[in-house]
Amino acid sequence: MTLAFSKVAIIGAGAMGRGIAQIAAQAGSQVWLYDTQAEAIQKARDAVFQQWDKLHEKGRLTAEIVAGYKSRLLGARSLQDLADCELVVEAIVEKIEIKKSLFTDLEKVLPPTAVLVTNTSSLSVTAIAAALQRPAQFAGYHFFNPVPLMKVVEVIAGLKTDAAVCERLSEYARQMGHTPVQAQDTPGFIVNHAGRGYGTEALRIVSEGIADFATIDRILRDQVGFKLGPFELFDLTALDVSHHVIEAIYHQYYEEPRYRPNVITAQRLAGGLVGKKVGEGFYKYVDGTAQVPAEAPVPVVENIPPVWVSPRAARRMELLQLLKDLGAKIETGASPSPEALTIVAPLGFDITTVAVVERLDPARTVGIDMLIDDAATKRRVLATNPATRTDMRDAAHALFARDGKAVSVIRDSGGFITQRVVATIVNIASDICQQRICTPQDLETAVTLGLAYPLGPLAMGNRYGPTNALEVLFNMQTVYGDPRYRPSPWLRRRGAIGLSLLHTED
């Protein structure tokens, strides 16, 4: 195999630079690691060597392979030592003036054919390249921590980047065992941009008093299949990182409402509750384990009232079959009797609005989220409205928990929790495609590998229905009057005519 780059330099000996150096050496390149702090270079090399030694001890690498890897990872004493490198990867502090100065110095040392790349996650590739004499040889090359395990890399073209450079970088990523995705130079590129919907919408839900952190995490894990709830994820990545990324993308997109930050993270960051690494974030941690409050027990209800289901309910036939399986006494009249528990299942609307529009008694009305097939979830989610009687809430909870499936009861919300988070994720992903930031296929790859979502966001939209996502967004926009929920043209057009969200007209 002919390597795309046989001589590579990594500048910055932190965790990111160390990880990139490791996979480059494993690919067969001669790698020079440089840092302004000489002791950091040796520390980084020692850490990588220890990882290789552990893999040898486990029988996953031979002694000969480990020796070869080690021989190819060298320390550089100055930028002059990098003079014959074909590729230089910068992985230093996220300050644009420092990066610009470094690359200007590198251009003086390296041959004209050398490719320079930045591992920036938040700065404009074009802006960094503006100070260079050869911007065509410059690109973004964004890896994710921990580099050896996170198998995706974003290849970002600046406005003047030669397309052949991006192709060469993509080939080198594959040679290092990673999957390249190509993106335009826009705030957040692909992964950090697509990830805006999950956490920011969850924060908005909390700020409306709809449910607490643990309940939201449980619902999104059990209903959709996310590995971590949004607040577990915030605690893992830490707010001293996450909050600044949220703010940066919001401001770089000139206060686009879809990316709006929330005061909750600002307050918690100011108070030092940044996450697991300090022992407290949205959860408290004891010996590294989150202290999660217990769920409320299922109410004991001796007599469940008869149940009437709105004719406008989403998945009405499935809902009726579910109630039959649970042993409910189902009313079939045109309207509920005065004793009936009234069940609605809206998409996007809140329970209050549905009760008013359908002329139902709000005191006896409870909603259930039926966006997702009940058989495909581990949890059911009910919502009350401000007038729902306690006995009706408890009866609904007890009824829907009869078969042992977990049930969460939340306060009134347009779109419950799953609907609004999923629709927001799908909408932002659709707009990434609408802006031609990347291909739909690269978007799906980047998000599944970079964010570990159970599905790519477009595939998620297809699974739960583009038309349903569109209805949720239109109705939420009506409930909240917020342009945050306006549907992307990509979603609106495909949802309206029944096309896959992965479909392109090109």
Catalytic residue among 29, 121, 170, 408: 121
User: What would the pLDDT profile of 82-94 be if each residue is shown by its tens digit?
Assistant: 999 999 999 999 9
As a residue count, the chain comes to 506
- Asked whether residue 299 carries a pLDDT value surpassing 80, the answer given is yes
- Asked whether residue 319 carries a pLDDT value surpassing 70, the answer given is yes
Average pLDDT, whole number, for the chain? 97
Confidence tier at 385 by pLDDT (50, 70, 90): very high
Confidence tier at 431 by pLDDT (50, 70, 90): very high
Average pLDDT over residues 98-127: 96
Closest CA to 13 of 91, 73, 95, 116: 91
Catalytic residue among 107, 154, 444, 471: 154
User: What would the pLDDT profile of 390-411 be if each residue is shown by its tens digit?
Assistant: 999 999 999 999 999 999 999 9
Reduced to 3 states, what is the DSSP secondary structure of residue 65?
helix
Catalytic residue among 192, 310, 468, 488: 192
Average pLDDT over residues 364-375: 97
pLDDT at 183: 97
Q: Is 299 exposed, middle or buried (0-12, 13-18, 19+ CB in 10 A)?
A: middle
Pairing between β-strand 365-368 and β-strand 289-291 as defined by DSSP bridges = unpaired
* pTM score, whole prediction: 0.95
Average pLDDT over residues 466-478: 97
User: What would the pLDDT profile of 250-289 be if each residue is shown by its tens digit?
Assistant: 999 999 999 999 999 999 999 999 999 999 999 999 999 9
Confidence tier at 474 by pLDDT (50, 70, 90): very high
pLDDT at 92: 96
Helix ranges (H only) for 176-270 are: 191-194, 196-207, 213-219, 230-237, 239-252, 263-270
- Asked whether residue 36 carries a pLDDT value surpassing 80, the answer given is yes
**Sign of CA pseudo-dihedral 309, 312, 318, 319:** negative
If residue 409 lies in a helix (H) or strand (E), which one and from where to where? strand 406-410
pLDDT at 1: 72
In sequence order, the 6+-apart residues with CB closer than 8 A to the CB of 50 are: none
Q: What is the DSSP string of 419-474?
A: HHHHHHHHHHHHHHHHTTSS-HHHHHHHHHHHT--SS-HHHHHHHH-HHHHHHHHH
pLDDT at 506: 64
Reduced to 3 states, what is the DSSP secondary structure of residue 248?
helix
d(CA 232, CA 264): 15
The percent of residues in the chain predicted with pLDDT above 90, rounded, is 98
Closest CA to 301 of 397, 226, 214: 397
Closest CA to 368 of 336, 396, 332: 396
User: What would the pLDDT profile of 176-219 be if each residue is shown by its tens digit?
Assistant: 999 999 999 999 999 999 999 999 999 999 999 999 999 999 99
Closest CA to 347 of 315, 318, 319, 308: 315
pLDDT at 493: 96
pLDDT at 483: 97
413 catalytic, yes or no? no
503 catalytic, yes or no? no
133 DSSP assignment: S
142 catalytic, yes or no? yes
170 catalytic, yes or no? no
In sequence order, the 6+-apart residues with CB closer than 8 A to the CB of 164 are: none
Catalytic residue among 29, 90, 124, 142: 142
- Asked whether residue 309 carries a pLDDT value surpassing 90, the answer given is yes
Q: What is the DSSP string of 263-330?
A: HHHHHHHHTT--BGGGTBSSSEEETTEEEPPPPPPPP--S-PPPEEE-TT-TTHHHHHHHHHHTT--B
